[in-house]
Amino acid sequence: MSKKGARKNASGGLTMADLAQLAGVSKITVSRALGDSPLVNPETRERIQALAREHGYKLNISARNLRLRRSHTVAVIVEMKPSTDRTMFDPYPLVLLGGISQELTAAGYSVLLTTRQGATAAAVQAADGLILLGQGVHQDAVRRFDKLRLPMVVWGAQSGSDAHVVVGSDNRLGGAVVARHFIALGRRRPVFIGNPSHPEIFERLNGFVDALAVHGIKPLLMRRDEFTLDSGMDAVRSLHARKVGFDAIFACNDLLAMGAIRATLDLGRSVPADVSIVGYDDMPLGASFLPPLSSVRQDWQEGGMLLARKVLALIEGEPASSECLPVSLIVRST
């Protein structure tokens, strides 16, 4: 670049306009390329990122530093696939979203809600911060949205390798509480239904397994990718077809648990006399289900408020740390 074209920003480094001139593209193309947007072809994206590295334009700075002013918008991405059984009207994510919206609107921010399919939209990339609800299988969602280079807070399970602020419930404790409940009832052949590829479910399973191991009991894992009522029914029917004996079921969410109850009753067994069943989330539908479902309760409202407070802190350049919320077992009739 010539001296005439070499403009500096306040900190003495290159500006986005400089990078755009070097690459022979527009500033919006540079912004998209640095955020790994699929709207930019791979060859151009790699070329712009290489120029950024070469000239010290760091790829890990937040998107707010790539703009002259803030949008006062926080993007909220729900990492789930809504279905007729598992809707957006359930406590996850609806109550969580309520807590988020309450805090953000009070702080003068707008909420941009979308799913992972809409996360590449220009409005999302122009947000000042990002809240991701769900980590995805093997944290694939976290890795994907990290490429947007926005201040990001994640709802999920903490791990030692987290590079982001994570807010979530004590999933390991939740699993352990259910295990101790089954032990107290004299259950010896428990089953876990869910997909432990999701970090939260993995922690629930580990807590469950470890607490049972103290008593010499090893649960059977029924892996199910869909967290729906039909999937819960299918899991129990599969156990019956294989002639697997079981006297307790811990389902990783309430819909799976309700499906398990329905299938168990259809097969002529009693709940809870023959089989004890516990879900997770304590959704309102579970309390009115017949029989009323025992479930692990999470504080969705508080979780949503914490997510919002922490992303606002990151946007302001203030420190924020991960936080784990307590859980409790609500014992009803299953």
Tens digit of each residue's pLDDT (9 = 90 or more) over 205-254: 999 999 999 999 999 999 999 999 999 999 999 999 999 999 999 999 99
Q: Three-state DSSP class for 272?
A: coil
For residue 6, the model assigns a pLDDT of: 43
Class at the top of the CATH hierarchy for domain 73-169+300-325 = alpha beta
The pLDDT of residue 281 is above 50:
yes
pLDDT grade for 66, boundaries at 50, 70 and 90: very low
d(CA 20, CA 115) in angstroms, rounded, equals 30
CATH no. of 171-297: 3.40.50.2300
- Enclosing H/E stretch for 296: strand 294-297
pLDDT grade for 146, boundaries at 50, 70 and 90: confident
For residue 1, the model assigns a pLDDT of: 44
How far apart, in Å, are the Cα atoms of 298 and each of 133, 173, 287, 320?
14, 11, 14, 22
First-to-last alpha carbon distance for the chain, in angstroms, is 72
Q: Over the chain, what is the mean pLDDT?
A: 87
The pLDDT of residue 71 is above 90:
no
pLDDT grade for 13, boundaries at 50, 70 and 90: low
Q: Where in the chain is the domain with CATH 3.40.50.2300?
A: 73-169+300-325, 171-297
The pLDDT of residue 36 is above 90:
no
Percentage of the chain beyond pLDDT 90 is 58
pLDDT grade for 270, boundaries at 50, 70 and 90: very high
Reading phi first (left if > 0) and then psi (alpha if -120 to 50, else beta), residue 282 is in left
User: Of 120-134, 181-195, 213-227, where does mean pLDDT reach its minimum?
Assistant: 120-134
